[in-house]
Every structure is written in structure tokens, then in C-alpha cells.
Structure 1
Amino acid sequence: MKWINVSKEQSEFESYNNLIVLSRIKLISAAVVLLSFLFIYFDWTVIRIGTDKVYQITLISMHLFCLLSSAVFLIFYRRIVKHTKDGKRFISTIPQVYFFLYILVGALSSVNSQHYTGNIYSYIILSLIAGAVLTLKPLVMVISYLLSHAIFLFGISLLDTDAGQALTKQFNATIMIATSLFMSIMFYKHRMKEYFTKQKLKENEENFKKLFYANPYPVFITRLEDGKVIKASKRAISLMGMNEDETKGYNSLNWYIQEDNRLSLLEELKSNNSVYNRIVAYDFQGKRMWVTANYEVIDYHGEKCILTGIMDITEIHKVEEELSRQASTDVLTGIMNRRMGMNKLEELMESGKTSFVEFVLCFVDINDLKKINDSLGHGEGDRYLMTFCDQTKEKLGEKDLFFRMGGDEFIIVFLNKSLSQSEKLWKKLTEHLGTFDISASHGMAYYSSGMELELEDIIESADKRMYEEKIKYKNEN
């Protein structure tokens, strides 16, 4: 089976090569017809000056043969090409016959010139042209060269009476013919290699297209330089809510939500040529979509492009976000829980080592919550806590932290505030909470970059002050 495939591929190449040779024969034939007036003028001059009759008759006969055969070839050229494409064996031999006759005419012309000029230029020139332009199967060229050269050698030895000159001409012609044959074989091999390379590339491109369009996930090809969409699979087109024409030239890089995502991706692609399993947010048809994306830099039709394949993980991402929210949120009040709040505080303290950070930590304890639970029930106590949290969140700054430590204890972090500023804010907050009959004790501790304090020390200091206020409140009530 492999041998059959190779034979078929070789046959396809020969048909392709024959079509190239036929197009070049067409040019040569057209040149012969257009320059026929030169042949006529030369033949008339030869007759007028009275050269050797054999030379005259042979020269005129060859000129007529070349002119008539060229004209006939041009007339039937389209039909010959059509039958060659159809694989007609008889027609496919025309380039081979032409090649042999072309060299033979050169050999006969040079042999005939022994009657008049004594040169062998015609044979050498036509042989070199044939080797460079009419490149055929090496076996065909070898047989053609051998037959025509044998006729040439025999003719020169028969007509050139000077044995030394005859030997010189035969030797020089043999060297040139060998050179022409070697050159033509190299051209043939190069053309064959080029043909099979193109066929392989074409086959690979077809396979790529099949994989591209059959891929169950959305796939894009975009230019690396400017991000313009060159090709998009049907799933990708459907996902974008466009038709195929609308996707061409669309800037896919604008689908990224965050600018730093876009820039970091391009930098990584330029460095590594590939990025795998990157989670990216896209906006398609006005909807946010989270995907796992794989990127590969490829050469596509001579341009550096990015092959992108994406898999929709929006639902998975929503579940993860919800789990993350639940893990970081206090179930009852909806504010940050202790674990998340402490993490935020630790990050804030850590950032204070490289940049200036200032804040006031306020430790808060709700007053009389046990009385409410005991007298009105835990349900009322829960509503009491939720009201406290809702009202406190409304009065805090956007960058301030607020989380539940546990039970009836909370921590508020006033960012970029001094103690006096924070106390004023707390006073306004307690006045607002008082309208809901909510009371709380508090204690504050100040921190700024450079202070030799640990987070536990700050919380302990604020807790101690809160406890002192709590005792005072109990004594008064």
C-alpha cells in the first residue's frame, strides 16, 4: 500500500512538472513564430551568397520544421494541457518528445554548420537551454542527451576533416552536455522536493482546518501584532453572537476585562510562545464569561499569529466564588468573618514594611445582647446584631475594615485616621446606632509604620480599653 501511495504521488508530480514544461514550450514556440522573419532573412541570405547546397537544404528544412511544429503546438496548446491534466498517457509524452527534438535540432544544426561556419554553438546553447528550462525525469533526459550526442559525435567525426579540431569540438561539447545534464537533474530534484514540500504543507493545512473546525470548543486565530481575528471556528462565532464576516478584523484582545491581563499575556507569549490554562474573563454579548484559555504562537500564512482555545468555566467559577464568599463571610451578619478579617489585617501590616500605613483598630462589644437573648429570644438577638452590622457598614468609609470576631465582638479598622479622628467617627456612629436603641462599648489602638508592634499587641490593647468601658457601662446601668 505504501508503494502504491508513493507511485501515485510521483505520478501527480510528473503531471505537475509536465504542465510547467508545456507552459515553457509555449513560450519557446511563441518566440520561434515571432522570430520567423529572422529565419527567412537568414535563409534568403544563405541562398543569395551561394553556400553549399546540402547546408542550404538542411538549414531551411530545420527552420521550416521548427516553425511548423511551433505553430501546431500553439494551436493545440489548450487541448494538450487539458489532456495532460486528465492523465492521457499519449499526450503526456509530448514534453519528452519535444525535449529530445529540441536537443537533436541543436546537434543537427551544429553538424550542418561544419559545411559553412565550423562552430558547434547551436548545439551547446540549445542543450543548456533545454537543461535549464525543460526539466524532465532524469532517465528521459539521459536517453535524449545520449542519442542526440551520439548523432553529434558521429556527424562531427564524419564532416570535420581536421582530426584535432574534431576531437576538440567533441570533447568540449561532451563537457557542456554533461554539465547541462547535471544541472537539469539538480533542477528536477529541487522542483520535486519543492512540490512534495508544498503538498505536505497543503495536507497539514487541510488537517489543521479539519481539527480547527471540528474542535468542540471555541477556537480563534488572531494576529500577534494587533490582535485582529483572522479565523474563528463555528463555536467561537456562535459564542460571539456574530456572523463569520463580522469576526474578520475584530479585535479579540479587547475581550479581556483587565488591561494588565492583556499586557501580561502578550509579554508571556513573546517570551515563551505559549500560555496554558490561564483563567481569563471575557465579555460576550454583554455577559461576563470566565474561561480556561490556552494560547500558542503559530506561523499562519506567513504571519505570527496566536491560536487560542477556550473552555467555558463560568458556572464553575460562580460556584468557586460562592464557596470563597461563604468561607470568608459571617453567615449571620453578612460581613467578613474572623478568618478573613485577620488575613486582611495581616496583609495591611505587611504592606506597612514597604510603604506608609496608618490605622486605628477599634474593638467593639455589643451591650446587653445576653439580656435580649434571655428575655426576647435568640431570634431577636440575631436581628439586633444584623441591624448593628447594617447600620455600621453604612457609616464606614469604603476602605475601612469591618469584621466579626465572634459572638457579640467586632473589629472596625479606620484607615488613614488618627485616634482623635477615629473617636469622632465612633461618636457619630454611636449616635446613629442610638436611634435603633443599640449600644456598644469600644476600645481603640493606633498603629502606623515604624511602630514596633505585633497585630496581637494592637488587638489586645484595644480589647483592654473596650473592657474598661464595658465595666463602666455595667456599673452605670
Structure 2
Amino acid sequence: MKKNKIAAFSPPFFSAQQGDNHHAFHQQLGLLLFSRLRLVCLIAVCSYPFYLTLDVYFLRVGDNQFNWAILSFMHFISFFVSLLFLVFRSSLMNRSKTNSQHLLKYVYFFFGFYILIGASGSLNSQFLTDNIYSYLILLMATAIIFPIPPEQSAVIIGAIHCFFLAGLFMIEGFSLPAIVDMINSSAAAGISLFLSSTFYFYRKKESENHLQLFENEKTFRRLFDMNPHPLILARLSDHQVVLLNQRASDYYEGTGLSEKGIDLFFKDSHELRTIVDVLKEKNSIKGYLTPHFDPLKPNIWIMLNFEIVDHFQEPCLLIGTTDVTTFKAEEEKLSAHAFVDELTGTMSRRKGLNILSSLMNSRHSQSFTICYIDIDHLKKVNDQHGHNKGDQLIKTISGIIQKKINDDDILFRMGGDEFVIIFPGQTPCKANQVWSAIQKEFKRMNQTSQEPFTLSASHGTCYYQSGMNVSVEELLEMADQQMYNEKRESRQ
């Protein structure tokens, strides 16, 4: 039942909308043709004195003076009617401001008037020059200059052409020249009607497109202003800002974005050209992360979404802004958790293995030594004194190692009680020297420590030379085996 009600009320809505568009088009058409009519009347008033002068001359010296008098009368009538229009044009315009049909009625009158003058002149010319040129010329010119609705042009042209054919028949009968003139004039009338209708429908389609463009622009502006995120619309040609919604005006207040354009978003012109090239290929870019360009906001991060849109038939760049400072901070925290061992503060296993793989697989790989370390008796400490003491043992040994290695050396925790040190560009001899220093620190601290555990660890080294055909796992396995050999020997 509800669906039927909606269906019943839909047609009046659409017909009303179409009626508004139709009225708007005829309002525009009336104004356009009325302004053209002014120019035509101005040309007529300026040119008819010349024709009247010729008429007076031929009245004095030519034959068929009666027909020359008729021609002069028609020229005078055209001159007088055109002059009247120019005199009263302003008052006619003011009277018809609210009603486009009144303007079009004046145009219809002059449309028919000039064609009728041409038809009458050509009929009169059968007694003088025996041609129909004035009718054909005015028929074509009027149809092109005044593209009135087809139903109106069909009635006017049809009625006047019937009058012309009847007059031609009465003057010439069915003579061969008359039949030729009838055929040619009928073809001209048909072509004129076609031209007038074609220009009318072209103008109507153009008006509908403009109205649709206007409606689309209104919808776009409404959605643009309602968007909860800062939105910027800039011309693609010169990067100047065309529109800012209220959120964007507030967010970028004081940055000079409106005056300087969207170049502010980019580090240099090369970055901007790259963005534009990608946009021309893909039409949009999502999730472009960049720091805020305002120097007063150094720690602010924004995410930009770019899309190419047409704004009044001009390619523009629509830029959406999202402040992602909070998300960026959370991401950095997560990244830190992913790459830093939570217990010891050293590098995590994932990060360490990535670095080790990069050192081995880079094009310009260098030699290095790895030292695989395993804490002794950690399980015993956990079992006898608890995991808190076990964690303290791990952190203490990790702290000692970090103090003894150089800044270029890399320490990461493999997991549990195992650590790995990477000594870039160093031989096993250098690694063993560092390990000796670590062992001495263990002994020194054991002598003064009040903790219920002893600091002790085993190590194994492996030397990697550029070009060796081994994997990361195999390299670690070799160092691990060395470490277990040392651990086994220490227990014997």
C-alpha cells in the first residue's frame, strides 16, 4: 500500500521539475532571441534607406512603376515596423520580464513578418526581375537567426509558404519556370524548418546540460560543505585553491594555503609532478602520508587522498585531509614493540635477523663476525629462585654486553637465554677480545653481587666473508655449534 502511494505521487514531482526546466529554457531563449531581434531591426533600419533610395530612382526611370511602388511600400513598412520595435524595445522588455512567453510572441511576430515580406517581395518581383531570391534569403536567414520551437516555426513557415505558392500560381500558372520556383521554394522552406528545429533542439540540449551542470554543482557543494573532513578543491592547471570547506578553513587557518596553493603540501616540484603523473594515469591516490607543512606543527602527520574531478568542465584536484598524528604515534609504539625486546631493551629477534640477512644479501656485502651467546644455568635459577630472578639475570647480562660492545656492533635477543652480537667488518679475533672483556665483568660483579645467581654465559663465533654460499640459518647454526662445544667443555 505504501509503495503504491509513492508511485502515485512520483509523476507529478518529476513533471513539475521538467516543467520548471522547460520554463527556464524558454525564459533564456526568449531573452536571447529578443536581443537578436534588436540587432536584426537595427540592421534593417540602417539598410532600408539605401533600398528606399533605389526604389525612388526606379520609380522615376523604370517601367512597371506600380510594382516598384509596391516594393517601396514593403521596404517602408519593414523600416517602420523595425524602427517601432527599437523605440519600444525597453518598455516591451520590462513588461515581459516575468513572462518569457510574451518575449517569444514578439519574436514569433517578427519571424513571420520578415518571411512574409520576403514572400511578398518575391511575388512582386515576378513583374520586375522574375526571381524569388528575397524570399529564399529571408526564409533561410530568419530560420537560422531565430530558432523558435518547431511547432511554431512549422505553422508560420507553412502558412506563409502556402500563401507564396498560391500567389505564384495566380501570377505564373503552371508554367515550367513557376513549377521550378515552386519546387525550389518548397525545398528551401523544408530546409529552413529543419535548420530552425535543429538549432532549437541544440539550444535546448545545451540549456539542459547547463541546468544539469548547475544542479550537479549544487549537490557537489552541499556534499563538499557537509563532509566532516577538511576538503580542498584546486585547479590542476595552476594548483590554485578553488574551494575550501569549513573544516579545511579551520584546520589550515594561518598557513596561507588559499593564497599559495597546494604546492605547500609537497617538499619540491618533483614530488608534485610525480603525484600529478600518477593521478593522470589512475585518477586517484589513497592514503598519502606526509608531515604537516606548517612549521608551527612539526609533530603533526596528515593523510591525503587525491582524486581528479571536473568542476565546471575544468579538471580539478580534490584533496581530502585526515589528521593521523594519533595513529602515527600508535604505529611507532607498535613498531618499537615489534623491533625492540621488551625485557632487555635490546633489538628484537625479527629486527636482528632482518639486519643479518641484509648484510649477507646486499650487492656490496662485507665481511663480519657473529657471536652466539647462551646464558648458563638460567633454567636452574628459574626453578630455584623464580622467574623474576631469572629475568633479572637476563637483564643483567644483557646490560653488561651492551656496555662492552661498540656503537657499530649490533646486539639482539634470539629468545629465552640466547643473544647474538654482529661485529661488522671485524674478525673473530676482535669478537673474542670483546668477549674476554665481558667475561672479566662477569667475574668482577660475581665477587660483589648479593644475588642468588652467578653471572655466566657461553659463546661461539662464526666468520662470514663476502660471497660465502651460506644462508642466515646455516651461519647461526655454525656459531651455535661453537657455543655448545664451549659449554660442553666447561662442564667437563
Q: What range describes the TM-score normalised by the shorter chain of this pair?
A: 0.7 to 0.9
Matching residue within 330, 333, 349 for 2:344 = 333
1:116 lines up with 2:116 in the alignment? no
The 1-side partners of 2:57 and 2:436 are apart by 123
Of the three residues 385, 393, 411, the one matched with 1:402 is: 411
The Cα shift of 1:450 comes to 3.0
AA at the equivalent of 2:156: S
Contact 2:370/2:420 (8 A) holds in 1:
yes
Conserved 8 A contact 1:237-1:247:
no
State yes or no: 1:413 paired with 2:398.
no
Q: CA deviation at 1:332?
A: 3.1
The yes-or-no answer on 1:446 pairing with 2:455 is no
Aligned residues: 464
User: Residues 275 and 383 of structure 1: is their aligned pair in 2 closer, same or farther, counting only changes over 3 Å?
Assistant: closer
Q: Contact 1:84–1:92 at 8 Å: present in 2 too?
A: no
Relative to structure 1, is the Cα distance of residues 248 and 237 closer, same or farther in structure 2, using a 3 angstrom cutoff?
farther
1:201 aligns with 2:210: no
Distance 2:324 2:126 in 1: 87
Cα RMSD (Å):
3.9
**How far apart are 1:291 and its partner, in Å?**
4.7
Q: Kindly provide the amino acid, as one letter, of the partner of residue 461 in structure 1.
A: M
Deviation at 1:284, TM superposition (A): 4.2
Judged with a 3 Å threshold, the aligned counterparts in structure 2 of structure 1 residues 379 and 13 are, in CA distance, closer, same or farther, namely closer
Does the CA-based 8 Å contact 1:142-1:181 persist in structure 2? yes
Q: Does 2:187 match 1:175? A: yes
Report what 1:139 is aligned to.
151
In 2: Cα distance, 1:274 partner to 1:346 partner: 36
Displacement after TM superposition at 1:391 (Å): 3.0
User: Aligned runs of 1:79-228 on 2, under 5 Å?
Assistant: 79-87=91-99, 89-160=101-172, 163-224=175-236, 228=240
1:275 — aligned with what? 285
Cα shift readout 1:146-180 (whole Å, capped 9, x = no counterpart): 22112222222233378333333222211211111
SS of the counterpart of 1:76? helix
What CA distance in whole angstroms lies between the structure 2 residues aligned with 1:87 and 1:121?
A: 37
Partners of 1:79 and 1:255 lie apart in 2 by: 62
Contact 2:231 2:321 in 1 (8 A): yes
Alignment of 1:372-391 (within 5 A): 384-385=396-397, 387-388=399-400, 391=403
Q: Distance between the aligned counterparts of 1:293 and 1:243, measured in 2?
A: 17
State how far apart, in whole Å, the 1-side matches of 2:274 and 2:100 are: 60
Contact 2:292 2:302 in 1 (8 A): no
Counterpart among 286, 304, 307 of residue 318 in structure 2: 307
2:402 and 2:94 mapped to 1: Cα distance?
A: 86
Cα offset, 1:469, TM superposition: 6.7
CA contact (8 A) 2:34 2:104 kept: no
Q: Map 1:318-357 to 2 at 5 A.
A: 318-349=329-360, 351-352=361-362, 356-357=365-366
Cα distance, 1:134 vs structure 2: 0.9
Distance of 1:264 and 1:447 partners within structure 2: 41
Moved more, 153-162 or 331-340: 153-162
CA distance in structure 2 between the aligned counterparts of 1:57 and 1:429, rounded to whole angstroms: 131
Residues 279 and 290, structure 1, Cα contact 8 Å, conserved in 2 = no
Q: 1:107 to 1:433 in 2, by over 3 A?
A: farther
SS at 1:16 equivalent: helix
TM-superposition CA deviations, 1:401-442 (whole Å, max 9, x none): 321234664322123444456567x389769979x9699765
Structure 2, gaps ≥5 residues long: 1-11, 447-454
Q: Please state how far the C-alpha of 1:264 moved relative to its aligned partner.
A: 6.8
Structure 1 gaps of 5+ residues are none
Q: Which moved more, 1:20-29 or 1:161-170?
A: 161-170
Instruction: From the superposition, tell whether residues 231 and 130 of structure 1 become closer, same or farther in structure 2 (CA, over 3 Å).
Output: same
Query: C-alpha separation between the residues in 2 aligned to 1:443 and 1:306?
Result: 60
Residue 275 of structure 1, CA deviation: 3.4
* CA deviation after TM superposition for structure 1 residue 121, in Å: 0.9
Normalised TM-score (structure 1):
0.82
Match of 1:316 in 2: 327
Question: Residue 93 of structure 1: SS of its match in structure 2?
Answer: helix
Q: Does structure 1 conserve the Cα–Cα contact (< 8 Å) formed by 2:229 and 2:322?
A: yes
The superposition leaves residues 201-246 of structure 1 with CA deviations (integer Å, 9 ceiling, x where unpaired) of 2211221122122211122334556755443333223322347873
Match for residue 12 of structure 1? 24
Distance 1:427 1:72 in 2: 114
Deviations 1:27-86 (A, max 9, x none): 111111222331232122122215434323322222222222222322333444444442
Q: 1:126 to 1:357 in 2, by over 3 A?
A: same
Counterpart Cα distance in 1 of 2:259 and 2:440? 56
